[in-house]
Amino acid sequence: MKKLTVLAASLLLAQSVMAADAAPAGATSAPSVPQTNDQWLERMTDFTRNGSAYRDPKVFVPWSNAVTEPGFYTQMGSNMMEPGNWYRMMGTMMDPRSMNNYMQFADPNMYMRWMGAGMDPNFYTALMTQWADPGKMMRWGMMPMDPKMWNMMMQGMNPNLYMKWMMAPMDPRAMSMMMAPMNPSMYMGWMGQGMNPATYGSWGNMMNPGTYAAPMGAVAAPAGTMNFFDPNAWMGMMAPAYGQPAAQGQAAPNFNMFDPNAWMGMMPAPQSAPAPATAK
């Protein structure tokens, strides 16, 4: 029953985190890959960094290897019994950086990386090599006799474990976490992350007004280019002079899609009926 509980809890945790590094906003360095079960579990329970195995196939491959090892679930069961791990995990959920972690899924570059991996035979070879590893199958078969597994199960009989949970409400880490929602800087941090274009990956350029404004000294945008984020550009399309012929020496006005006369002017002129042939 305990083993079933550990497996169910691990599946829930794995589905909620799908591990890898969510680099800070604007960072371009490659995410580091954990090497041990402890490092993977620390990453997967950190909501500011636990979303990168789904964003990068190169991180998904070692993550897949880690979560198919029996020792991963043994270590997870032991970590779940420690109150301090829950304090840290819930604290990261309130961290504004967790927004950047998950909003990176809106980056189209992520889907391009997965498309490339889907066409790469090496990606499937790396996964199948892990899943067909005879040593891994033997470790699963020997898991009931693993001392780490027995140590995790015996922790349920340790009175110190229950004392830790009874004293959890008075733990300074728990009290600090409960006071965090009263800190105005937390909400300002969330607002700042939401307004930071780098939070949304390459889509963030659409939210950056500097992307559409020519910097000082740069070549101006060509005439007729419309800035979709400029309200004046939209209001200018409703100018009553649009659709009328330009005066001498003035540039022709832009097409006004709101002017029915402008649309009528695009229709071909009606052809006059041919004159009937006269009888001779």
**Are 170 and 76 in contact, with CB atoms under 8 Å apart?**
no
Q: What is the mean pLDDT of residues 150-160?
A: 87
Nearest in space to 18 (alpha carbons), one of 42, 61, 52, 56:
52
Say if 190 falls within a structural domain: yes
Band of residue 223 on the pLDDT scale cut at 50, 70, 90: very low
Nearest-5° Cα angle at 18, 15 to 20: 165
pLDDT, residue 84, reads: 86
DSSP H helix total and E strand total for the chain: 15, 0
Task: Return the C-alpha torsion angle 197, 202, 203, 204, nearest 10.
Answer: 10
pLDDT, residue 25, reads: 40
Say if 103 falls within a structural domain: yes
Domain count, the chain: 1
Q: What is the pLDDT of residues 173-215, one digit of tens each?
A: 888 888 888 888 888 888 888 888 878 776 655 555 555 444 4
Distance of alpha carbon 78 from alpha carbon 85, whole angstroms: 10
Say if 213 falls within a structural domain: no
Say if 21 falls within a structural domain: no
Query: In terms of pLDDT, which residue wins out, 207 or 251?
Result: 207
The amino acid sitting at 109 is: N
Nearest-5° Cα angle at 71, 15 to 98: 35
Domain that holds residue 88: 46-205
pLDDT, residue 123, reads: 92
**Are 62 and 155 in contact, with CB atoms under 8 Å apart?**
no
Say if 32 falls within a structural domain: no
Q: What is the pLDDT of residues 256-269, one digit of tens each?
A: 555 566 555 555 55
Mean pLDDT of the chain: 73
Reduced to 3 states (helix: H, G, I; strand: E, B; else coil), residue 54 is coil
pLDDT, residue 122, reads: 92
Query: Which of 172-181, 228-237, 239-248, 260-269 is least confident?
Result: 239-248
